[in-house]
């Protein structure tokens, strides 16, 4: 096997096509089991969660077969948010946590994300070792050492109770009307329950999954659905999650959207004022807006940039001892509370800011003026490498020189989808449009 299995967030692809096949899931389960059971002892356990995609049943069963064949005991959580898997892996002393989800992708896709015993996503090095085991002959356990599998009923309840503890004081949401859009995904039970138990009047949206409608015209990538509900019901806030609830977009009472950059700016400012922001820094990716960097600088705070992917944000946070980071796309990582992005807990922290300041959401959602930014995606074909084209390189070089001093350009291949992402920022919006369209045209021609 020469193809690379792992992308920026685990293994992902179209269901029933390589690598998202039952056969590959079985091999991945067996390889992960062998990797984490190298001491040969019995008693090792793994927790498996999933979102609401139909293909989750297939992959769950295949992973379970592979894991038990190498002696791992499997605890099946059913549909739970990705951050719940990180939390429960550590809480339940599991050796591995696995989340079956393609996050914000459409229902026909799926993915497999691995967490280590500390609840954090695996490193590149660990993923490379697992891939090497997949490519080799995996030694099964002896018959007497085959693992067991069982469904557990209290995993979701444990996460719900924990999420509530991250909000400062029960009952403070009394009198607040909150729309929560669960994207017909993994948080369709947990998120409304947490908000209701904390005292809010809850307007649930996207809570009727059927295996095919996850992220379909709802959730953090389609905030117009939550915006309409906020306005229609006269809600005080909208919380829009993605399919596995590790991303969030916040909407104020008018339906205006705050992306991850604005949410992180609010949290960083408040935490710095309270002496809670470790290292006086926020960790974000190269995609975060230049306006965020300027906002932090004006307050004596730093923006530490990483490659795209919440896993790389977390790695930098852990290496530098920082406790706040995330992505413009809505991953908000608060290591005081969670090991990965947690959209629900981020929403609770925004509600805490409203409760503590007495301000409406509209006074909090825009912390800084964004520098005009444009992102366009170009779908690629198998076997094509448009960014290696001399013509594309020449166009990128020319436009980089043109925009120098006024903004920046970022072109990259997506780690989760067959896309080339062309992003630029520039205070001259006419120039911004010309630059992005010029590069997109060159990439499309190369494809």
Q: Is the pLDDT of residue 426 over 50?
A: yes
What pLDDT, on the 0 to 100 scale, is given for residue 3? 67
What pLDDT, on the 0 to 100 scale, is given for residue 170? 60
**pLDDT tens digits along 221-260:** 999 999 999 999 999 999 999 999 999 999 999 999 999 9
Question: Does residue 103 have an active-site annotation?
Answer: yes
Cα 229 versus chain centre, distance: 24
**pLDDT tens digits along 22-57:** 999 999 999 999 998 865 565 799 999 999 999 999
Cα 376 versus chain centre, distance: 20
Query: Which member of 55, 103, 220, 288 is catalytic?
Result: 103
Q: What is the mean pLDDT of residues 215-223?
A: 97
**pLDDT tens digits along 294-310:** 999 999 999 999 998 89
Share of the chain above pLDDT 90, in %: 89
What pLDDT, on the 0 to 100 scale, is given for residue 358? 93
What pLDDT, on the 0 to 100 scale, is given for residue 164? 96
Q: Which domains can be identified in the chain, with CATH numbers?
A: 6-154 (3.40.120.10), 169-255 (3.40.120.10), 258-363 (3.40.120.10), 373-446 (3.30.310.50)
Q: What is the mean pLDDT of residues 155-160?
A: 98
The alpha carbon torsion through 108, 77, 222, 293 (nearest 10 deg) reads -120
Tell me the CA distances in angstroms from 42 to 26, 38, 89, 145, 343, one per residue in order.
20, 11, 18, 7, 36
pTM: 0.91
What pLDDT, on the 0 to 100 scale, is given for residue 1? 41
* Other residues' Cβ atoms within 10 Å of the Cβ of residue 439: 24
What pLDDT, on the 0 to 100 scale, is given for residue 383? 73
Tell me what the pLDDT averaged over the chain comes to: 94
Exposure on the CB side of residue 246, measured as CA atoms within 13 A: 32
């Amino acid at each position: 096997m020469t193809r690379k299995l792992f992308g920026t967030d685990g293994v992902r692809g179209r269901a029933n096509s390589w690598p998202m096949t039952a056969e590959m899931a079985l091999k991945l389960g067996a390889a992960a089991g062998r990797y984490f059971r190298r001491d040969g002892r019995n008693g090792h356990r793994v927790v498996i969660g999933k979102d609401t995609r139909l293909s989750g049943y297939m992959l769950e069963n295949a992973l379970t077969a592979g894991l038990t064949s190498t002696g791992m005991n499997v605890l099946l959580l059913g549909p739970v948010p990705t951050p719940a898997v990180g939390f429960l892996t550590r809480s339940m002393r599991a050796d591995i946590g696995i989340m079956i989800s393609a996050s914000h992708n459409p229902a026909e896709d799926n993915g497999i994300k691995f967490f280590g015993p500390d609840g954090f996503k695996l490193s590149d090095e660990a993923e490379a070792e697992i891939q090497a085991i997949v490519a080799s002959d995996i030694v099964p356990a002896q018959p007497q050492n085959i693992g067991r599998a069982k469904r557990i009923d209290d995993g979701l309840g444990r996460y719900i109770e924990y999420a509530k503890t991250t909000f400062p004081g029960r009952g403070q949401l009394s009198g607040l009307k909150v729309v929560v859009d669960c994207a017909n995904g993994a948080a369709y039970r947990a998120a409304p329950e947490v908000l209701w138990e904390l005292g809010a009047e809850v307007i649930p949206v996207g809570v009727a999954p059927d295996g095919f409608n996850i992220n379909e015209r709802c959730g953090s990538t389609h905030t117009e659905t939550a915006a309409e509900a906020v306005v229609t019901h006269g809600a005080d806030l909208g919380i829009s999650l993605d399919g596995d609830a590790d991303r969030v977009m916040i909407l104020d009472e008018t339906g205006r959207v705050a992306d991850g950059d604005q949410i992180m700016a609010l949290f960083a400012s408040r935490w710095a004022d309270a002496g809670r922001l470790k290292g006086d820094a926020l960790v974000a990716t190269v995609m975060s807006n230049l306006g965020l960097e300027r906002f932090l600088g004006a307050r004596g705070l730093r923006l530490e940039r990483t490659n795209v992917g919440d896993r790389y944000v977390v790695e930098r946070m852990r290496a530098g001892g920082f406790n706040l980071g995330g992505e413009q796309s809505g991953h908000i990582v608060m290591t005081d509370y969670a090991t990965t992005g947690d959209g629900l807990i981020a929403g609770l922290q925004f509600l805490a800011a409203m409760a503590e300041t007495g301000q409406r959401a509209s006074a909090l959602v825009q912390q800084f003026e964004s520098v005009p930014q444009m992102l366009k995606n170009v779908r690629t074909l198998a076997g094509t490498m448009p960014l290696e084209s001399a013509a594309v390189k020449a166009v990128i070089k020319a436009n980089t020189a043109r925009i120098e001093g006024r903004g920046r350009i970022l072109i990259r291949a997506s780690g989760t989808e067959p896309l080339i992402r062309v992003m630029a920022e520039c205070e001259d919006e006419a120039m911004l449009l010309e630059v992005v369209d010029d590069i997109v045209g060159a990439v499309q021609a190369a494809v």
